[in-house]
Amino acid sequence: MNEIFLDTETTGLLTREDHRIVEIACIETKNLIPTKKIFYKLINPEREVPEEATKIHGYSNSMLEKEATFKEIANELIKFISGKKLIIHNAPFDIGFLNHEFKKINMRLLDKEKNVVDTLELARSKYPGSSNSLDNLCKKFNIDISKRTKHNALLDCELLRKVY
């Protein structure tokens, strides 16, 4: 089974406040070796991007307004990730946002348990009592994070792949 390292960036932290995905990245591997297949999209969230969110990921309303909506990329995303193990740092967050988007367009939701590895949960069990953010795990394993000036889904997928 191939693996997908997946990450999203969003307009905020809460789906109940209708925050939306603005960026999604997936890096495919086979036996943890990159296949060179990547799914990457900036997404028009169809809502305002709060200034606090822009400070974190750098994406503003004007940058995203001409991008495709989630509805327009959903089938391509499903095709890319179907039948593959999803490896995600803080999986409940990303799966929650993906399912929020799928629900809005009446598509089948992702199973939170099936073929999903939550690397944050793994790190917490392996390193209890310490901060297990992606940045801290990179530091722990001497992975260069100098390119990470803002949160970026594609870079975070690559960093997570190296940590994993």
C-alpha–C-alpha distance, residues 150 and 89, integer Å: 17
Alpha-carbon distance of 117 to 108, in angstroms, equals 20
What are the structure tokens assigned to 91, written together? 């999986």
Helices 119-126, 91-104: inter-axial angle, 10-degree rounding:
160
Please give the helix or strand (H or E) that residue 49 lies within, else none: none
CA angle (152, 153, 154) in 5-degree steps: 95
Name the token pair of 140: 């722990």
13 residue type, one letter = L
The helix (H) or strand (E) run that includes residue 112 is none
Interstrand relation of 116-118 and 85-88 (parallel, antiparallel or unpaired): parallel
Catalytic-residue membership of 151: yes
Residues annotated as catalytic are 151
